[in-house]
Amino acid sequence: MTMSPQHAARRRMYRRRRWTVGIIAVVVLALIAAAAFVVITYADANNGIHRSSIAGLTGPEQNTGESNILIMGLDSRVDENGKPFPQAIYDQIHAEDASVGGYNTNVLMLIHIPANGGKAVGISIPRDDYVDFPDSPDGVDKGKIKEAYGDAMDASMTKLTNKGVAEADAYQQSRTAARQSTIKTVSAFLGGVRIDHFVEVTMAAFYEVAQAVQPITVCLNHATADTFSGADFPAGVQELNAAQSMAFVRQRRDTTSSDFDMTDLDRTRRQQAFMVSLAVKLKQASTFTDFGKLQKLIDVAKKDVAMDDKLDLLSFAQQAQSLAGGNISFVTLPIDHFDTVDGQSVNMVDVDAIRAQVHDLLNQPTPTAAPSTSPKSSSSGSGSSGSSGSSGSGSTPAPHPVYTDSSSPLQSGNVPCVN
């Protein structure tokens, strides 16, 4: 397919490779906070957030009591209306201005919430996995999974602009087309998994929500620094402010040490660890009883969060509270090998193996109720991983003493140590 120079330039802009952001944590926080607050501001929250329909994209709705929610974290330097962030945010997150960056979904995670109180699972999809694009946007049949959004958005913008649709309307319609294309791409890649809901978050949302709940406790196995993301951390347990949190989840290289090799998979692991740490903080913090903090989270959601038109915040409240309580574990889908396609580094994957793994994760047996026993002290039987620091309402749980690589599940409930 032959493109005009202007079309090709715009397509490059929508697909431009940029650092990822730890969107997963802010998504769950925003949903939990919004759900806790809807009793007072339900109409305000629901009416102000950008919505897109995904009905029927991946199969008929089912009343099974379970939910599959796709989290999409964009690398764009603009809000949900395409407007630039305040300059102070660009400065704090070590990101260029609105003229830089594309519309890649640099964070993709499927959160499966089973019926009957089973443990939820978060499945991280590496952003550079080389996959099929069911919609073939701009005539492209395959590419990095993160590029499905930008390619579809560009194709839609071109079509609508040529029809004379007003720019603001074309932009919002194209964002919807991009979300729908990404959902179909992820569903097909995972083996036809039904996706019930989606939540999309921008970089600014992460920073502004981190501001509302800072500091966040994390643990690192190594001292590390990175001039690109602004990361500069000692080893061990430490508390991060909002700007440091942004650097923590964006870092994918170490610029000070030749023997410490970080990758995108380490960054994905950090995002998972940050989400676990955030859940720990939410159990201790006063976020849900602080009117000012909750109102700020709602305001952030209106500018920098989008979700499907069927995701009802009231009905989601109990599920979200369960996640905040630590009832979730995280896995990262495996990569078979690395390769280069059309000059770009990509992750080659065993699609059949991934689909089998996802099927098993989404169909774990429902837990049976444990026999009734006498109450035990919270300190008994804690084992070496420990939680001795969690007994007080204001104390910080001890970090998990063992680092597990990205091929092993990351369990919630305690602050984990990661690279």
Structure confidence by residue, pLDDT tens digits, 170-199? 999 999 999 999 999 999 999 999 999 998
- The three-point CA angle 210-216-219 to 5° equals 135
User: Average pLDDT for residues 127-135, to the nearest whole number?
Assistant: 95
Q: How much is the pLDDT for 271?
A: 80
Which residues make Cβ contacts (< 8 Å) with residue 143, sequence separation at least 6?
Answer: 130, 131, 133, 151
Cβ proximity of 33 and 288 under 8 Å? yes
Which residues make Cβ contacts (< 8 Å) with residue 201, sequence separation at least 6?
Answer: 23, 26, 27, 30, 71, 72, 73, 74, 304, 305
Assess whether pLDDT exceeds 90 at residue 298: no
User: Average pLDDT for residues 164-175, to the nearest whole number?
Assistant: 95
Q: How much is the pLDDT for 174?
A: 96
Q: How much is the pLDDT for 12?
A: 44
Q: How many CA atoms lie within 13 A of 47 on its CB side?
A: 4
Q: Coil, strand, or helix at residue 322?
A: helix
Structure confidence by residue, pLDDT tens digits, 269-293? 888 888 778 777 766 655 556 666 6
Return the DSSP state at 416: B
pTM of the predicted model as reported, rounded to 2 decimal places: 0.77
Instruction: For strands 417-418 and 224-226, give the pairing.
Output: unpaired
71's enclosing H/E stretch is: strand 67-74
Assess whether pLDDT exceeds 50 at residue 388: no
Q: Prior bond to 416 cis, omega within 30?
A: no
Sign of the CA dihedral running 83, 87, 89, 92: positive
Average pLDDT, the chain: 76
User: Average pLDDT for residues 3-14, to the nearest whole number?
Assistant: 47
Portion of the chain with pLDDT greater than 70, in percent:
68
Query: What does 264-304 look like in DSSP terms, one character per residue?
Result: HHHHHHHHHHHHHHHHHHHHHS-GGG-HHHHHHHHHHHHHH
Q: How much is the pLDDT for 143?
A: 96
Query: What are the Cα distances from residue 2, in Å, to 118, 157, 164, 214, 349?
Result: 51, 17, 22, 50, 30
User: Average pLDDT for residues 123-144, to the nearest whole number?
Assistant: 93
Q: Which residues of 173-199 are buried (b: 16+ CB within 10 A; e: fewer)?
A: bbbbbbbbbbbbbbbbbbeebbbbbbb
Assess whether pLDDT exceeds 70 at residue 402: no
CA–CA separation, 328 vs 334, rounded Å?
19
Highest mean pLDDT of the ranges 41-55, 92-106, 146-160, 216-230: 146-160
Q: For residue 97, what pLDDT band results from cuts at 50, 70 and 90?
A: low
User: Average pLDDT for residues 383-405, to the nearest whole number?
Assistant: 46
